[in-house]
Structure 1
């Protein structure tokens, strides 16, 4: 009976729909934030600008159920973090090694800060994603201020829309429930942050050394796996990631078959964002199916629908497999208590020696 349960658990995780208190209001708000940025870019015939602003608008995903004042401060600080992450990634994108180092530093800082302040999901994920995308954009020093400004404008638009939503729609906001969790030791967060930072550095460097067109997708895939709360959950997310990407590429092919452009493309991306936020808290694997075409349209289509679907499918599947394998390997280290404890002791010992000297 136990063996039967073990065999069914991975399969059940693909079809299980979890219960959630999230209403349709928030997914709709997320779709509006993304859609407005793309719509403005389309209106001024600058789709690349709309895509960059859209990246910043993802800060809406850090919307919390805290009191209004705390919520707006939280979102504003996340918007600042998005801008800094994109700026740092852009500044070091001129060199493959430098870009990988920058991503590793951003991953370390974002994980440590989000752990220290106990920021709920998506935690460090989108800060790293923003930086990874920035490293993939061709380096043009004179355009960095413009690009960072567009990302910042998209982020602040989401903050503004979140404020109006909070005041006029979500008037009755319940106090957040106290989440019981084991209090981590101070050095544990440092060790975890170092491991994740090194993993992101390594993932992007491997992608760059292999000269992959969308190398940024490797660290993103690896980090998505590392969001698992334990080793079993990490393995489960790995299966979901790979399966969802395969099915998502099929969905991408169907959408591209329609040859969407202009307003139709804006609408499709906004609807994809709405669907993702509606189901990601219910079933991660199902959400990945829709995440795949969304990221392709945002990252690969800045200058119009000129995607070679066959080349794209091969590249994205390869990136996902490499990133997932890195995520599982690093996840083993991350959830290896003996290893983490030994690293904690070494850090404490090094700090004591520095004080004595």
Structure 2
């Protein structure tokens, strides 16, 4: 028997409230968040010491590779981490190179998103999946880098990636003492729709989100495609909607926190310390409650984006721009997620892609 509309609405709201107020259990201990904080914070500390906080920011982005450390044997961990570091470096380089000719930015970001998503799914790369690869490309593409500065910026990003690998090695040696590593799961069977179709739809949504940001003339529009990708990566339409809701609510709370932090007299050392503290807290919370983690991700990303130019713009304008970026990215991510999980859309797009695919590409 079908429930009345009012009861169905009440049931939906009750479920959403339950999702928002549930704290998930987690066995993540403090050493992992601490290592993540060191991986992204040490370059900023070096930049503060040398009076080059902007260079430290680029290197700290490369240090995010630590978050891809798998829970396997030491040898497999380092191979996987070095491969991810090289992949992130390639994404940043291609993104920054496309920024030298603005018409190439959107096609480059779409291609990077598709290729990285396909690779992550073929090799069953766990969370955060393709997120930081695409974020590195988007930040590189939207940064004011000249051709003469490009080699130095790529070198800084690569240095941060190597530092993240070094932190990952030390962390693994510490945590694997007296503990058997997790076994390496077999790679999943190749599925054309899961690997190719999903990647193309996700890439199209990311490209559309960046196009919308450019048409609206948003300052520093890289956060729009990052927000879009973070939402559309949900495993189901329900998961996408729930993640969007938590991200928007968390960003709203994070905007207030960011405004308060940016109102403080922050310098290079204080920014580095704040980034490390926020990274530690985010990694402790993200597996427990996504909205609470997002409330901290907002001030973290603003600090990272504005570390080199703090004090040159009003805090209110910065946090307002970030909230608008998040809303736009989440809206396009939700629309892309509907297309991604709609059977009719999948059938039409899948048939079209299969006609374009070369012979044998639909099988491993």
The TM-score bracket by the shorter chain reads over 0.9
Matched, 1:79 2:114: no
Does structure 2 conserve the Cα–Cα contact (< 8 Å) formed by 1:301 and 1:307? no
CA distance in 1, matches of 2:357, 2:104: 28
Structure 1: unaligned runs, 5 residues or longer: none
Q: Which of 199, 211, 214 is the matching residue for 2:217?
A: 211
User: 1:172 deviation in Å?
Assistant: 3.8
Q: Which of 340, 346, 349 is the matching residue for 2:352?
A: 346
Counterpart of 1:54 in structure 2 is: 60
CA distance in 1, matches of 2:29, 2:280: 12
Counterpart of 1:171 in structure 2 is: 177
User: 1:178 deviation in Å?
Assistant: 7.6
Counterpart of 2:203 in structure 1 is: 197
CA distance in 2, matches of 1:90, 1:114: 22
CA distance in 1, matches of 2:290, 2:339: 23
Q: TM-score, normalised by structure 2?
A: 0.92
Q: How does 1:216-231 map to 2 (within 5 A)?
A: 216-231=222-237
Counterpart of 2:277 in structure 1 is: 271
Greater mean deviation of Cα atoms: 179-188 or 107-116: 179-188
Change in CA separation of 1:332 and 1:178 when aligned onto 2, cut-off 3 Å:
farther
CA distance in 2, matches of 1:175, 1:243: 37
CA distance in 1, matches of 2:229, 2:84: 18
1:108-137: CA deviation from partner (whole Å, max 9, x where unpaired):
011000000000111101000111111111
Does structure 1 conserve the Cα–Cα contact (< 8 Å) formed by 2:271 and 2:307? no
CA distance in 1, matches of 2:17, 2:345: 31
Matched, 1:19 2:25: yes
Query: What count of residue pairs does the alignment treat as equivalent?
Result: 355
Question: C-alpha root-mean-square deviation of aligned residues, in Å?
Answer: 2.2
Counterpart of 1:33 in structure 2 is: 39
User: 1:232 deviation in Å?
Assistant: 0.7
Greater mean deviation of Cα atoms: 326-335 or 92-101: 92-101
Q: Indicate the SS of the match to 1:142.
A: coil
Counterpart of 1:96 in structure 2 is: 102
Does structure 1 conserve the Cα–Cα contact (< 8 Å) formed by 2:257 and 2:299? yes
CA distance in 2, matches of 1:179, 1:307: 49
Does structure 2 conserve the Cα–Cα contact (< 8 Å) formed by 1:34 and 1:54? yes
User: 1:188 deviation in Å?
Assistant: 3.2
Does structure 2 conserve the Cα–Cα contact (< 8 Å) formed by 1:100 and 1:205? yes
Q: How does 1:36-185 map to 2 (within 5 A)?
A: 36-176=42-182, 183=189, 185=191
CA distance in 1, matches of 2:55, 2:179: 35
Q: TM-score, normalised by structure 1?
A: 0.93
Q: Indicate the SS of the match to 1:242.
A: helix
Q: How does 1:293-332 map to 2 (within 5 A)?
A: 293-332=299-338
CA distance in 1, matches of 2:296, 2:56: 20
User: 1:138 deviation in Å?
Assistant: 0.9
Structure 2: unaligned runs, 5 residues or longer: none
